[in-house]
Amino acid sequence: MKKRFTEVVEMIDFNELVNMKRDIDKGGMEINQVLTQKIKEELKKHNVYCSICNAKIDPYSTSNFTLIFGPEDLKKKATFCALDCMEYFLKNLKDLRRDWKNAKKEKNKTAGSASGMHEPDFDSDDID
Ligand SMILES: [Zn+2]
């Protein structure tokens, strides 16, 4: 079971606690490094399935592709198991974007006819 930080503190060895406190007093470089690494690992776990066919991604396969797109402050990431899936995504992204534009125009004209249409949801991770 996952634990909250305050619960974890209860379990940490006293000497380790003193070391952590010392690290934080010096700017927390070591703790920052550990947390950054762990967060990166967790974010990678979210990319284990293909955005199109939901196949499990083999992290060591050379046929994997990841697209990073969107504005600088809200980068989105989509991972694909093969070139076919990425092509399908790109083709549909084009169509979808056209549909969204048309839907917006339609909506302005006929108010509410395009409800239910929304942009697909992707992980928006912080990307270095
Ligand atoms: Zn796929």
Whether 119 is in a domain gets the answer no
Find the 116 Cα to ligand 1 centroid distance in Å: 25
Tell whether 69 is covered by a domain: yes
Q: Is residue 11 one of the residues assigned to a domain?
A: yes
Q: What was the pLDDT predicted at 41?
A: 82
Give how far the C-alpha of residue 118 lies from the chain's centroid of Cα atoms, to the nearest Å.
19
Number of domains observed in the structure of the chain: 1
101-123: pLDDT as tens digits: 777 777 666 554 444 444 455 55
Q: Is residue 124 part of a domain?
A: no
pTM: 0.45
Is the residue at 115 inside a domain? no
CA of 37 to the centre of ligand 1 (A): 27
**What gap in Å lies between CA 22 and CA 111, rounded to an integer?**
61
Q: What is the rounded distance in angstroms from the CA atom of residue 120 to the CA atom of residue 56?
A: 20
Pull the structure tokens for residue 2: 């996952």
18 within some domain: yes
* DSSP strands (E only) in 37-94: 65-69, 76-80
Structural domain containing residue 13? 5-110
pLDDT digits (tens, 9 = 90+) for 25-80: 999 999 999 999 988 887 776 678 898 898 988 878 888 898 888 777 777 788 89
* Ligand 1 midpoint to CA 40 (Å): 23
CA 31, 36, 42, 44 dihedral sign is negative
* Residues 124/46, Cβ–Cβ less than 8 Å: no
**What is the per-residue pLDDT for 82?**
93
Question: What is d(CA 14, CA 26) in angstroms, rounded to the nearest whole number?
Answer: 19
Distance (Å) from CA 58 to ligand 1 centroid: 11
State in Å: Cα 55 to ligand 1 middle.
5
In a domain, 128, yes or no: no
CA of 80 to the centre of ligand 1 (A): 5
Q: Does 127 map to a domain?
A: no
